[in-house]
Structure 1
Amino acid sequence: MIKAMSTPQSRIARPIAHSATLPFKSGAARVISLVAFSCVLLLVSTAFFIYRDFGNQLASNSINTQGLGNANSTETAAPSDSFEGRPVNILISGIDSRQNQGDDANGDAAELSSIHSDTTMLMHISADRTRVQVVSIPRDLITDIPACKRSDGTVSSAYTGMFNSAFSTGSNDTDIAGGIACTEATTEQLTGVNIDGFVVVDFHGFRGLIDALGGVWFDIPEDIDDSRSDLHVQAGCQKLDGKTALAYARTRYAVGDGSDLGRISNQQKLVAAIMRELLAKNFVSDLPSLLSFTKQGLSALQPSQNLSNINTDVGLLLSLSSIDRANIQFITSPNQYSPVDPNRVINLEPQFSQAWEAIRKDQPFPAAIEFTNGSGQEGQTNASPSASASPSESSSASASATPSTSPSASASASASPTAACPAER
């Protein structure tokens, strides 16, 4: 060892004691480097297997609707792409599938043995990724349902009925692929909007998704005692677990006027609260929570095949990572009560046509439209001579608008009670 440390006399310039530390320092550096390399290798390997596992799970959950839907359509499905540089329209369908769920399932025998469409939203993402417009379509809306091809090869007859009946018509009460395909065809016929993909959300999975988030802060506007949805809560800001959040999303008769329109407004505010909760999470420093939420999220969602590629989905999400919450806005498709049946609604013109034209042209909603934004605030676009609505028309449609650079369509919002909840401070 001493021989190894010796050097020509003319080159000895440092104390021997210091030189004696060199072998230890070199060995420690090698150990540290090895440990660091091992950690990096472990992280990369873990990330790869997680990525592959999630990708496989997402792909296995995808729904193939090729050849289903509008029986009169002659269009050929366009090849999937990353959606880069163009607007994207995604249909979101919340279904009520409660077979084999024991005490968690509320409803009569017919409900427990079939699948129902409970909520439908069309999410429009602008081409420049600065704006997200979400339009809820009332389940009680009277519209034309096209003839739909089913998975068993049969074709349903075209008829006029409630919008949400399209799902049960296509599914024959049990087939999700046929149900969402007929809902998609009905939505395109109703709105003239070309749908790029869809996501089916099972309500039981939605409950697990909220629990994976650790609950969601939400301001309940009034005391609710609803035995139908098993919801018993007091008014005020509180953290809702998955069961309570799901019950709130489904309650109808114990809130407001008991209409489906009132429930849609509640659902929009709850979705906004979930988005705020997501933005408040620091998943980067909490890997277990990220993994739990991602796994639960994937199990709760059934996407169209072109949205089952995790690269496409992650790329789309990343393109929205810096969007202002004020630019994520919710409306209800403009409607009014039917003159022949007060339990049903019909399109409200010209607001209905104007709102959907804005989606088709990738533009902000017209002026004088009510909205709820991603911060849970309610507001209305400023009126202009070319696009205004009377107070009665405006109040009959729960609508939203996105901010615009145009002075005639700029948005204003007033703070809602939910601003006091922790996730929104």
Structure 2
Amino acid sequence: MLAALVLLGGGAGAWLYMSLDGNIHSAGIKGKLGGDRPDNLSPGSKNILVVGSDSREGANAKYGKGLETMQSDTLMVMHLSADRKWAGVLSLPRDSYVPIPACDKGDGTTSEPHSFKINESFAIGGTTGDVTGAAACTIKTVEQNTGLRIDHFMSVDFQGFKGMVNALGGIEVCPKEPIDDKKAHLKLDAGCQTIRDEKALGYVRARYGVGDGSDTGRIGRQQEFMQALADKARQKLTSPKDLYGFLDSATKSLTTDEEIAGIKPLAELASSVQGIPSDRLHFLTVPNYPREADIPTDKANVVWQHPQAGKLFSDLARDREVTSKQLKAAASDKIYASQVRVQVLNGTKEPGAAAKAAGRLRKLGIPATTGNAAASADSTEITYPKGQRAQARILAAHIRGDVKPEAAAKAAAGQVTLVLGPDFKGVG
């Protein structure tokens, strides 16, 4: 869509501009985000939260019934570097089990903080069908769990996606095996073929009838499809007719925050990134593994793999380029949370703080015990013995706030120690 907007901004015609500008819906989210947000660590860069919304209203009703709240099928953060020489599209698996903060539900009530699949945040904020509330709760959840400051928001629904694909005459895909997914309304033969309309939508939504049936497998197909769609848009959208059909479908189903809710600001954004070469547009997925490895009874969710996920978020926050090859290599060194043994000591004046923190860690699958009360601590600290640095970094990733693990000469063998200080903000 950004590639197409570059052409529009280049003078495709004022009639196109006027016709399309009124299609875009605006969501006033700023007043709903609160003040406890991550700092912007790289001025000039942009983080845009992109949601593929599968609202089941109107023409979308055939994709599922009995859903009373808004739904999100795809969740991504698009990072644009400050110098606009590279970009990363980071997919957040919808089955990611994460803490979800308290959110305004739009019906006069506020949800309780809890942990669940990350895409539930969109449904909680959108309880009344308001995309503004859905976007606000999703942004709060993503910011809390990644530390990334979200600058803008975009949501595109099913119908807009199909329209964009159709305007390009379809997209070629090459599945290695037949796909038969009744939930995605898709039956597809193996081999290369051009798909459009319902088949295109089904292809990016398919999960249970292809591969290992995982959400991460679907993300891979979505990323490949988006890359192919972007490449074809650059090649094909050379006439006003093609351009209009593509952007009309895109903008009619598009909701953004107020700052970019219009053709002019979107075209300006597009122009700023048009020079990014294809080999520096990186499609990334948060490193993850089945939560079953930590909590044997949970066979439905994934958890983010640390310390790799934390480093990924830190790199993007500081505008450091990350490639899929680098991320894949780092993620190959996997340590489960259940392999991290922790002793929690209370260095605060709050009785029971250590037991509470240890209990929360155990819910995350981290074996945690409490020890004798520590002397009053000036700040929260994590120490580890030789050979336990990676385990200490995994623990640090689950402690709210900036706590850097340090090696300790007298640390207990095979065990990481967490001393709670007055600055302890909790486990997340």
Tell me the TM-score normalised to structure 1 length: 0.70
- The equivalent residue for 2:309 is 352
Which of 146, 154, 167 in structure 2 is aligned with 1:191?
146
- The equivalent residue for 2:29 is 65
Q: Which runs of 5+ in 2 are unaligned?
A: 1-9, 337-428
Shift of 1:150: 3.5
Residues 248-271 of structure 1, C-alpha deviation per residue, up to 9 Å, x if partnerless?
Answer: 111111111111111111111111
Residues 304-323 of structure 1, C-alpha deviation per residue, up to 9 Å, x if partnerless?
Answer: 11111322211111122222
CA distance in 1, matches of 2:235, 2:251: 20
CA distance in 2, matches of 1:133, 1:294: 23
Q: Is the 8 A contact 2:180 2:188 kept in 1?
A: yes
* 1:138–1:305 distance in 2 versus 1, CA, 3 Å: same
- The equivalent residue for 1:98 is 56
- The equivalent residue for 2:180 is 225
Q: Is the 8 A contact 1:69 1:178 kept in 2?
A: no
Paired residue type of 1:64: G
CA distance in 2, matches of 1:142, 1:207: 29
* 1:178–1:229 distance in 2 versus 1, CA, 3 Å: same
Paired residue type of 2:260: L
Which of 203, 217, 224 in structure 2 is aligned with 1:269?
224
* 1:350–1:54 distance in 2 versus 1, CA, 3 Å: same
Residues 56-105 of structure 1, C-alpha deviation per residue, up to 9 Å, x if partnerless?
Answer: 333xx1112242245xx367999xxxxx9811100001111122327x71
Answering whether residue 22 of structure 2 is matched by residue 56 of structure 1, we say: yes
Shift of 1:356: 0.5
Q: Is the 8 A contact 2:305 2:334 kept in 1?
A: no
* 1:392–1:75 distance in 2 versus 1, CA, 3 Å: closer
Q: Is the 8 A contact 1:170 1:181 kept in 2?
A: yes
Shift of 1:326: 1.1
Paired residue type of 2:66: A
For the residue of structure 2 that corresponds to 1:101, the secondary structure is helix
Shift of 1:232: 1.0
Answering whether residue 286 of structure 2 is matched by residue 333 of structure 1, we say: yes
Paired residue type of 1:166: S
Paired residue type of 1:336: Y
* 1:171–1:56 distance in 2 versus 1, CA, 3 Å: same
- The equivalent residue for 2:201 is 246
- The equivalent residue for 2:264 is 311
- The equivalent residue for 2:341 is none
CA distance in 1, matches of 2:119, 2:327: 29
Paired residue type of 1:91: L
CA distance in 2, matches of 1:282, 1:135: 26
For the residue of structure 2 that corresponds to 1:248, the secondary structure is helix
For the residue of structure 2 that corresponds to 1:49, the secondary structure is helix
Shift of 1:46: 9.0
- The equivalent residue for 1:110 is 66
Shift of 1:301: 1.2
Answering whether residue 122 of structure 2 is matched by residue 167 of structure 1, we say: yes
* 1:360–1:94 distance in 2 versus 1, CA, 3 Å: same
Answering whether residue 75 of structure 2 is matched by residue 120 of structure 1, we say: yes
Shift of 1:148: 1.1
Residues 392-411 of structure 1, C-alpha deviation per residue, up to 9 Å, x if partnerless?
Answer: 579xxxxxxxxxxxxxxxxx
Paired residue type of 2:31: G
Paired residue type of 1:54: L
Residues 124-178 of structure 1, C-alpha deviation per residue, up to 9 Å, x if partnerless?
Answer: 0111111110111111111111111243443221111111111111111622211
Q: Is the 8 A contact 1:129 1:323 kept in 2?
A: yes
The number of residue pairs the alignment matches comes to 322
CA distance in 2, matches of 1:210, 1:337: 33
CA distance in 2, matches of 1:301, 1:280: 23
- The equivalent residue for 1:211 is 166
- The equivalent residue for 2:210 is 255
* 1:74–1:138 distance in 2 versus 1, CA, 3 Å: closer
Shift of 1:361: 0.4
For the residue of structure 2 that corresponds to 1:258, the secondary structure is coil
Shift of 1:382: 9.3
CA distance in 1, matches of 2:123, 2:240: 40
Paired residue type of 2:32: L
Paired residue type of 1:50: L
Q: Which runs of 5+ in 1 are unaligned?
A: 1-43, 79-83, 372-378, 395-425
Q: Is the 8 A contact 2:180 2:210 kept in 1?
A: no
Identify the structure with the greater helix proportion: 1
- The equivalent residue for 1:154 is 109
For the residue of structure 1 that corresponds to 2:85, the secondary structure is coil
Shift of 1:49: 3.3
Shift of 1:242: 2.2
Q: Is the 8 A contact 1:85 1:128 kept in 2?
A: no
Paired residue type of 1:67: G
- The equivalent residue for 1:390 is 332
Residues 208-266 of structure 1, C-alpha deviation per residue, up to 9 Å, x if partnerless?
Answer: 22112221122223211222211111122211112111101111111111111111111
CA distance in 1, matches of 2:269, 2:52: 21
CA distance in 1, matches of 2:89, 2:200: 20
Paired residue type of 2:29: T
Shift of 1:380: 4.9
Q: Is the 8 A contact 1:151 1:177 kept in 2?
A: no
Paired residue type of 1:390: S
CA distance in 2, matches of 1:101, 1:389: 40
Tell me the TM-score normalised to structure 2 length: 0.70
Shift of 1:302: 1.0
Answering whether residue 53 of structure 2 is matched by residue 89 of structure 1, we say: no
Shift of 1:121: 0.2
Report runs of 4+ in structure 1 exceeding 6 Å deviation: 75-78
